[in-house]
Amino acid sequence: MPSVLQWGLGGVPVKDYLISLFWPTAAGILAALLVLDRAVLDHSLLPSGAQPVVSYRDVVSKATPSVVNIYTAKLVTQRRIPMPNDPLLRRYFGGQVPRQRVERSLGSGVIMTTDGHIITNEHVIADADAIQVALYDGRTAAATVVGADPETDLAVLRIDLPDLTPAEAADPDDIHVGDVVMAIGNPFGFNHSVTQGIISGLGRFGLLLPTYGEYIQTDASIHPGNSGGALVDTEGRLVGINTLIYAGNGTEDAATGINLATPVDVAMFIMEDIVNFGTVVRGWLGVSVELHLRRNDDGSARQALLVSGLAEQGPAARAGLRVGDVIGAINGVEALDGRTAMHQIAQLRPGEVVNLSVERSGQILEMQAIVGSRSSS
């Protein structure tokens, strides 16, 4: 006689009962997997012309030869007191005996010209007594400093080697939030390491960052040693120069920090000035502004810049601008915030004419100012 375990409800065998119970669920799971498999593998479901990405090796192969590792050495003199109670030592050394040591650091850089010009961060090479550059193909060369710009934390080096591969610069208009990017550099000495992420934000500035700093925010991992390296897009084009990790507390914290890169157009502007003039030449108007809201005829509000201060005999003062004036546009571009206006003026050359649309006592005035330089009045 069959046992209780052999028979289920209503005299149905347990095996048949379990099959009838779980088969609909199993069938549903199988159907879902088939649909998912089709969605993943069927190329017809991708946008027209798009191909599924399985590797970025071609991108890395294109971009990596333009990225270099930078090693610096600095001779540091220290004073120590080996025998503080020795009167003879105190007489001749003040109780201190000088001692020298070599302080080494590392970073990254990007080859920008076939002539050997390399962009890196100023803090990578600051005060270095010797700079050595290592290329992806194994070659090395001593580098000289062409110039540096602490206000953007950028510097230009030069090496004398043939057959260099300059980076291809991306069009700034093609850089968008959400784009996939890769950071290539020398973190902790692991040369030509690659990390991948997306662009998280554009136009980041302020927050105790350098005066003229303007940054791309990315979640591609950047670590000490990545500074000065390349941030590239999925076509291997240079998007920015990896610059810093902002942790909000004045320190670099790779775990919680925000990764920032200098946009490629800013970096190229700085490099061209340093190569051509030995320094960065920035336009200047000699005006301080505050954000101002004014009303349109329909009652809506819009932003403008209220003049809060003028440099005596500066370009803006000589053009007739007054404290209390409201700047509505600069060269036909709406003046929406002081930071953007400062960058706009900074990229003009001394001697150029800048058109200002100014509101004073309810009247709109059109003014022209001759751009000066920050060191001139």
Question: Can you give the pLDDT at residue 98?
Answer: 61
Instruction: Please give the full DSSP string across 297-316, using - where no structure is assigned.
Output: TTS-EEEEEEEEEE-TT-HH
Name the active-site residue from 66, 108, 117, 123: 123
Return the H-helix or E-strand segment holding 87. helix 87-93
| Residue entry with tokens 């069959």 | 2
- Greatest C-alpha distance within the chain: 114
Catalytic (active site) residue 66: no
What CA–CA distance (Å, rounded) separates 327 from 105? 46
Catalytic (active site) residue 343: no
> 3-state DSSP call for residue 314?
coil
Contact of 67 with 168, CB cutoff 8 Å:
no
Question: Can you give the pLDDT at residue 147?
Answer: 92
What CA–CA distance (Å, rounded) separates 319 from 168? 41
Question: Can you give the pLDDT at residue 249?
Answer: 55
Burial (0-12, 13-18, 19+ Cβ within 10 Å), 372: buried
Listed in sequence order, the residues at least 6 apart from 42 whose beta carbon sits closer than 8 Å to its beta carbon are: none
Catalytic (active site) residue 123: yes
| Nearest C-alpha neighbor of 230 from the set 110, 80, 92 | 110
Burial (0-12, 13-18, 19+ Cβ within 10 Å), 113: middle
Question: Can you give the pLDDT at residue 211?
Answer: 61
Listed in sequence order, the residues at least 6 apart from 288 whose beta carbon sits closer than 8 Å to its beta carbon are: 307, 308, 309, 310
> What are 287-315's pLDDT values in tens digits?
888 777 766 666 666 777 888 888 888 88
Name the active-site residue from 66, 117, 149, 153: 153
Question: Can you give the pLDDT at residue 84?
Answer: 56
State phi, psi for 267 to the nearest 5 degrees: -60, -40
- Using 50 as the pLDDT threshold, list the residues of the chain that sit under it: 1-12, 14, 17-18, 34-42, 45, 208, 254, 376-377
Q: List beta partners, residue 142.
A: 132
List of domains in the chain:
4-41 (no CATH), 62-158 (2.40.10.10), 172-273 (2.40.10.10), 283-373 (2.30.42.10)
* Tokens coding 12: 């149905």
Q: How many CB atoms lie within 10 A of CB 312?
A: 8
Q: How many CB atoms lie within 10 A of CB 226?
A: 31
CA 131 from centre of chain: 23
Name the active-site residue from 227, 233, 273, 325: 227
* Tokens coding 155: 């510097």
What CA–CA distance (Å, rounded) separates 187 from 59? 19
Q: Looking at the chain, how many residues does it have? A: 377
Question: Can you give the pLDDT at residue 376?
Answer: 38
